[in-house]
Amino acid sequence: MGGKTLNKTKYLAGIAAATAVSATALLVAPAGAQEISWDMQSTYPGSLTQLGTLGVRIEEQIALVSGGEIEINFQEPGALVPALEVFDAVSTGAVQAGWSTPGYWAGREPALALFAAVPFGPEAGEYMAWYYFGGGKELFEEIYNSYNIHSVMCGIIAPEASGWFREPIESTADMEGLKMRFFGLGARVMEKMGVSTQLLAGGDIFPALELGTIDATEFSMPAIDLNLGFYQVAKHYYLPGWHQQSTMFDLMINLDEWNSLTDTQKAQIEAVCGDNMRHGLAEGEAIQFAALQELEEEHGVTIHEWDQAILDELEAAWLEVKDELVAENERFATAWDSLSTFRENYDRWGELGYLD
């Protein structure tokens, strides 16, 4: 009897062990899955508040969510390709993935600028509503797919500031003739003001400002600009960021690589990116007031709010730019029609649902 009991115990233990192994195998490696190890070339240094750290967070979180099955290796700017060549590198498959903002590629595809930041455009809640539920996501993916890229929106941050200047700006006439680093659609607006703009990657801005290659710059929000030290050269800091009331960032993936993933792996990447949207917005809203205080009290920066008359001129110039781009580019026109129609419909809710 004792022998039979012992054999039965061994038998049941064997079944339990086999079941545990099978369950573990199913959890770690779904049918058709293979371990993924990709390089992700970033346009931002990993140490840079939000812009870089949100990219590093993708690497960390996808490893946790996938149980180590998906490895996305954050690469510092220039490690594999220069920061502003990431789009082409992902498109051709030279690198599997890239961390950036769609606005960097507006010279290649103007419509992508509308998925980064829009002058006098929506704040984060409205922007995400259009993207996820107003048709934006479908247009975004269609545009990227035409370049052999699948991109997942993977971060959003609070409003930016709109300029560091050596001297105060009393009117738009004071901007004429300035050389200024400026991003995205806002750069086209500044050109209407007589500003000569150029797009520089984050790490190239301070040397250009210090050497006088540029006279002024915008880059990001106070906590990020503080990190880059622009206050050492320019002491007049202007808000609000009329050109970027919210800014979105994306994880670009070579389309062939994306298509090789299982549905589970795709869902894991999308889940990490969705959480990165939440993390980026909440963090960005939490860290600005301390940065503003440090800029003023420790670094002698004068913080200005734009005069309404100047904002009105900038908005009028933006409407001219928008009309030009709609006439020039069919994809831009389609994306603009989608965004502007959504915003017109949203206005009713915005007026009724929120306090002024």
Pairing mode of beta strands 149-157, 163-165 = unpaired
Segments forming the whole domain that contains residue 197:
163-243+300-329
Average pLDDT over residues 297-322: 97
Is 37 in a helix, a strand, or coil? strand
Confidence of residue 17 (pLDDT cuts 50, 70, 90): very low
Identify whether residues 239 and 260 lie together within a single domain: no
Question: Residue 181: inside a domain, yes or no?
Answer: yes
The reported pTM is: 0.87
Q: Are residues 134 and 261 in the same domain?
A: yes
Q: pLDDT for 53-105, tens place per residue?
A: 999 999 999 999 999 999 999 999 999 999 999 999 999 999 999 999 999 99
Q: Does 148 score more than 70 pLDDT?
A: yes
Q: Are residues 134 and 65 in the same domain?
A: yes
Domain count for the chain = 2
* CATH for 116: 3.40.190.170
Residue 305 maps to which CATH number? Answer: 3.40.190.10
322 domain residue, yes or no? yes
Residue type (1 letter), 28: V
Residues 126 and 263 reside in one and the same domain: yes
Contacts of 64 (CB under 8 A, 6+ apart): none
Tokens of 228: 């880059």
Residue 320 lies in a domain: yes
pLDDT band, very low/low/confident/very high, at 201 (cuts 50, 70, 90) = confident
User: Which of 286, 317, 349 is at the close of a domain?
Assistant: 286
338 is a domain residue: no
Whether the per-residue pLDDT at 168 is higher than 50: the answer is yes
How much is the pLDDT for 10?
Answer: 37
Residues 6+ apart with CB under 8 A from 245: 117, 118, 120, 121, 122, 123, 159
168 and 152 both lie in a single domain: no
pLDDT above 80 (res 30):
no
Question: Are 64 and 181 in a shared domain?
Answer: no
Average pLDDT, the chain: 91
Report yes or no on 16 lying in a domain. no
pLDDT at 326 over 90: yes
Residues 184 and 43 in one domain: no
Is there a single domain that holds both residue 135 and residue 172? no
Residues 102 and 182 occupy one common structural domain: no
